Amino acid sequence: MLTDLIAAIMQADNIIIHRHINPDPDAFGSQMGLKALIQHQFPQKQVFAVGESQPNLNWIGVPDVIADVQYAGALVIVIDTANTARIADPRYTTGQQLMKIDHHPDREPFGDLSYVDTNASSSSEIVYDLAQAAKWSLTAEGARCLYAGVLGDTGRFMFDLTTPKTLRVAADLMATGIDAPAIARAEDQLTPNMAKLIGYALQHTEVTEAGAGSFILSTAVREQFDVPLGLEQLAVNYVGKLTTIDAWVMFTEREDGKYRCELRSKHHPINQIAVAFGGGGHPLASGAVAKDLDTCQRMIQTLDQLLKEQR
């Protein structure tokens, strides 16, 4: 219940907010937005947002660097993170109380208090709900972070988890006076290197007759465009823009020679393929790791077969 969360937040003098590693705009936005809203409502509380910094998300907020001692007696909130293995900064266990807030399926429940709403588009939308339930004022600074998170996780209202409520939340956030279109443009922009890599992806995506798209990114090509490992993931959504693609997978060669596989689908669930290859995730967005290119090819064939059966 949101009321339990609100009570715990009201009682704590010291609050430390964690999120997941490899943060995306919703991880950063929900974390920084929650911090801003609590801090504004309770200026006397100490509120921190921790985890590795992410230069390309600095425009949303910059993580705090805090001493271990700060955790003594603290309420630790872990947001937007389904499982403990993905929590950024291992000190999350060293507080007094642990709270989980998330919108991903609750496969690994943790925390003394937990609030998971899989109907929410994003963790940022849940922070909005929390603020509404608590009757906290929606400040422009908090709204700016949350708007960035909602846009990030919904692909700017293009993914199926978008609801009429999501759009109403976005309207309320924008009504605080934030420059919402500028936030959209900030998330839409590409560094020259990323633009070249995405240009390469659009030119080298393969599509089967049944609509299975695939793009394999080798370390050599990624390094040619000087794009650090992880940032290339932005190309996944671009590949999916092709009219001929129903479901697709992007393979990125990792430093250990294995391939990160990001599976996406426009309509039909494809997460059973991720599971079959040792991974998992959402029905329309899941991931796995392939040990070599042969395994990548098998995954493409499996996806193609699935689409053929569904036609």
Residues of this chain that bind a copy of itself (CB under 8 A):
155-160, 162-165, 167-168, 170-172, 174-175, 180-181, 184-185, 188-192, 195-196, 198-203, 205, 207, 241-244, 266
d(C-alpha 55, C-alpha 127), whole Å: 23
CB of 72 to a copy of itself, least distance (A): 42
Exposed, middle or buried, 220 (CB in 10 Å: 0-12/13-18/19+)? Answer: exposed
When the beta carbons of 21 and 184 are compared against a copy of itself, the nearer one is 184
What is the distance, to the nearest Å, from the Cα of residue 247 to the centroid of all Cα atoms in its chain?
20
Nearer to a copy of itself, 130 or 284 (CB): 284
Burial of 245 (0-12, 13-18, 19+ CB in 10 A): buried
Residue 259 CB neighbours (<10 A):
23
Q: Which is nearer to a copy of itself, 11 or 203 (CB)?
A: 203
Minimum CB–partner distance for residue 164 and a copy of itself (Å): 4
Whichever of 196 and 268 has its CB closer to a copy of itself, that residue is 196
Tell whether the torsion through CA atoms of 71, 74, 77 and 81 is positive or negative: positive
- Rounded to the nearest whole angstrom, what is the least distance from the CB of residue 32 to a copy of itself in the complex? 21
CB of 70 to a copy of itself, least distance (A): 35
Q: Which is closer to a copy of itself, CB of 36 or CB of 198?
A: 198
Strand ranges of the sheet holding 280-281, from the earlier edge strand across to the other edge: 206-207, 212-217, 247-253, 259-265, 285-290, 280-281
Nearest distance in Å: CB 87, a copy of itself: 30
CA distances from 229 to 68, 71, 187, 252 (A): 30, 32, 19, 9
Task: Output 43 or 181, the one with its CB closest to a copy of itself.
Answer: 181
Output the six-digit token pair for 184. 């959209």
Q: CB-wise, 4 or 206, nearer to a copy of itself?
A: 206
Query: Measured between alpha carbons, how far is 54 from 51 in angstroms, rounded to an integer?
Result: 9
Own/partner contacts of 64-71, CB < 8 Å, gap of 24 or more, are: 66/16, 68/94, 70/14, 70/16, 70/46, 71/16, 71/95
